[in-house]
Amino acid sequence: MYLRKLFLEGHITFSLEIFPPKPGGDFEPMRAAVREMTALKPDFISVTYGAGGGAIGRTVDIAAYVQSQGVPALAHLTCVSSTREAVGHVLDELSGRGVTNVLALRGDIPDASDFPSPGHYRYASELVSDIRARGGFCVGAACYPEGHVESPDRLHDIEFVKRKVDAGCDFLTTQMFFDNNILYRFLYRLLRHDVRVPVLAGIMPVTNRGQVERIVRLSGTALPPRFLAILDRFGGDKRAMRQAGAAYATEQIIDLIANGVTNIHLYTMNKPDIAAEIMANLSAILSR
């Protein structure tokens, strides 16, 4: 099933995310997490692609396993560390196993002195074009409400997002954000640039202080005072932080849906229990 069809129906969609184990890591806990997540009946589950292009076989296997449990999968695919030929093989494998939804990503640059390597992709927009030309996939791409860390400013950032959409991307998924006003302003900027594809709002339930410190270091995501107060008050207490993090994510989602943002993607970080808690908090809202 192509996800673009789902988004066109205009209902609230709710999706989850899983990341594969490292090479050599155990597969069974992953399968168990997939089974717990599929039992929650999300609209789809996205499966991340190992940083630097590692563990790709695992992304394909897990995406196929998600679909065997009756839930559509969205396979992430990064291109900067692979040749065009290697990316073509991954697409062959995905399509051979019935996975027809791909999130086309550049990936982080492994070694800036070597970028772009001959025969490699430079930007995600090139990958979107190639997948489109090949056919047989619904293609999504990433976007950054606060701008991508390498972008000189937000205007350039939107122009590059538009290139991905013009290249044929069907939908966008946002980087996580903790202040909904940042997303609302971003959505206005997209409209001003005539970017009209569905935008999935990426929400991360923060369950420990270390996790959020890592996120801020890597992506520069802003933390609003309300969220900082929660971190200060509960960051040292695992159980309290988990509860407050789930409640904060729930409130963010309620506000988004109340303001007409209907596609919600939860960065579940392989924690089905958090997903279950948040979905239970939203049960009447999600069933509308």
Q: Which residues bind ligand FAD (CB under 6 A)?
A: 48-49, 51, 76, 78, 105-108, 123-125, 142, 148, 150-151, 157, 160, 163-164, 173, 175, 202
Residue whose CB is less far from ligand FAD, 163 or 247:
163
Residue whose CB is less far from ligand FAD, 76 or 242:
76
Residue 276 to residues 36, 38, 280, Cα–Cα distance (Å): 9, 11, 6
Residue whose CB is less far from ligand FAD, 34 or 124:
124
Active site residue 17: yes
- Say which of 9, 17, 28, 159 is annotated catalytic: 17
Question: How far is it, in rounded angstroms, from Cα 82 to Cα 105?
Answer: 12
Q: How far is CA 20 from the centre of its chain?
A: 14
Q: How far is CA 149 from the centre of its chain?
A: 17
CB of 30 to ligand FAD, least distance (A): 15
Question: How far is it, in rounded angstroms, from Cα 118 to Cα 100?
Answer: 28
CB of 66 to ligand FAD, least distance (A): 14
What the block records as the tokens of 161 is 């997002």
Residue 191 to residues 42, 147, 158, 264, Cα–Cα distance (Å): 28, 16, 10, 19
In the DSSP assignment, the letter for residue 17 is E
CB of 190 to ligand FAD, least distance (A): 14
CB of 78 to ligand FAD, least distance (A): 5
- Nearest CA to 161 out of 234, 208, 254, 151 is that of 151
Q: How far is CA 236 from the centre of its chain?
A: 28
Residue whose CB is less far from ligand FAD, 157 or 277:
157
Q: What are the residue numbers of the active site? A: 17
